Amino acid sequence: MDNSALGKLPKGWKGVPNDLGSDQTAFKGVNWGKAMMWIFLLSDTFIFSCFLISYMKGRSSTVVDWPNPSEVFALHVGGVPVPLLLIAIMTFVLITSSGTMALAVKYGYERNRKMCGYLILATAFGGLTFVGMQAFEWTKLIHEGVRPWENPFGAKQFGSFFFMITGFHGTHVSIGVIFLFIFARKVFRGDFDTGKRGYFTSMKSDYVAIEILGLYWHFVDLVWVFIFAFFYLW
């Protein structure tokens, strides 16, 4: 749907019954790929919610004390324990990469091929840094004796929730990094400027793909906001 036809439709709340009752495409003016990515992210939201809710239920129903996250995740800098230092750095790295991704989407739509490509690369390296620090975190905790079934700090359930939740999030980040590299290559090659047909879909490349990729990446950051709040800070 082009913009002139979209402009004639009712806006705001009045648009909702109009769009849904139109007996046509419900999401007016929204690229189908973008709508599908949103639907996928909605389902992913439910998966992560189930993990976090089961964590809430597990943590609030143990009779043994829960390990204190600000001590468990402290890093020693010059012999002084700094609470949650690594996690804070990871949070900042992920937010930085989210910012570069948002700018990559903007420059993509402005057909600034190089800026878009470099910003996607920066995002990918941010993601790699994050996964690397998470691997360090896991190694450290495993050396300290944290297992899915036991740990030296307190309630036994801690390990299984930690590995499950951060592992599932880390998997999302890793998959995102792979796609970021693939799309950086496509951008630099000029696929989105020439409208080259995609290898799998045979459909013309369009910079909207960068926005869709961006949605996924921001979602990964969004989930981390909740994990950071509920798992590390609570």
Partner 1 sequence: MNEQTKKAPATTHKLGIYLWIWGLLFVLSFCSYLVDWFAFQGLLRWTLILIFMFLKAGLIMAFFMHLFWERYTLVNVLLWPMTAIACFIGLMVAEAKYTVFTRFVYFVLGS
State which of residues 32, 81, 110, 171 lies at the interface with partner 1 (CB under 8 A).
Answer: 110
Would you tell me how many other CB atoms lie within 10 Å of the CB of residue 184? Answer: 22
Question: Is the Cβ–Cβ distance between 120 and 225 less than 8 Å?
Answer: no
- In whole angstroms, what is the distance from residue 115 CA to residue 162 CA? 37
Q: What is the dihedral of CA 23, 210, 106, 122, to 10 degrees?
A: 150
Would you tell me how many other CB atoms lie within 10 Å of the CB of residue 219? Answer: 21
> Residue 31, Cα to own-chain centre: how many angstroms?
21
Question: Should residue 219 be labelled a site residue for partner 1 when binding is judged by CB under 8 A?
Answer: yes
| Closer CB to partner 1, 106 or 140, in the complex | 106
Least CB distance to partner 1 at residue 49 (A) = 5
- In whole angstroms, what is the distance from residue 110 CA to residue 104 CA? 10
> Residue 179, Cα to own-chain centre: how many angstroms?
12
Question: Should residue 215 be labelled a site residue for partner 1 when binding is judged by CB under 8 A?
Answer: yes
Question: Should residue 98 be labelled a site residue for partner 1 when binding is judged by CB under 8 A?
Answer: yes
Least CB distance to partner 1 at residue 181 (A) = 21
| Closer CB to partner 1, 135 or 233, in the complex | 233
Question: Should residue 145 be labelled a site residue for partner 1 when binding is judged by CB under 8 A?
Answer: no
**Residue pointed to by tokens 């419900």:** 26
State which of residues 111, 114, 196, 197 lies at the interface with partner 1 (CB under 8 A).
Answer: 111
Question: Should residue 125 be labelled a site residue for partner 1 when binding is judged by CB under 8 A?
Answer: no
| Closer CB to partner 1, 25 or 139, in the complex | 25
Cβ contacts of 65 within 8 Å, gap of 6 or more: 154, 155
Backbone angles phi, psi at 77, to 5 degrees: -110, 110
Selected range binding partner 1 among 90-98, 137-145, 150-158, 167-175, rule: CB under 8 A: 90-98
Residue type, 143: H
Question: Should residue 211 be labelled a site residue for partner 1 when binding is judged by CB under 8 A?
Answer: yes
- Binding residues for partner 1, rule CB under 8 A, total 60
Cβ contacts of 223 within 8 Å, gap of 6 or more: 44, 48, 169, 172
State which of residues 56, 135, 175, 178 lies at the interface with partner 1 (CB under 8 A).
Answer: 56
Q: Which one, of 183, 4, 14, lies nearest residue 101 by Cα? A: 183
Selected range binding partner 1 among 122-130, 146-154, 162-170, 216-224, rule: CB under 8 A: 216-224
- Applying CB under 8 A, the residues found at the interface with partner 1 are 2-3, 12-13, 15-16, 19-20, 26-30, 35, 38, 42, 45-46, 49, 53-54, 56-57, 60-63, 70, 83-84, 88, 91-92, 95, 98-99, 101-103, 106, 109-111, 195, 206-207, 211, 214-215, 218-219, 221-222, 225-226, 228-229, 232-234
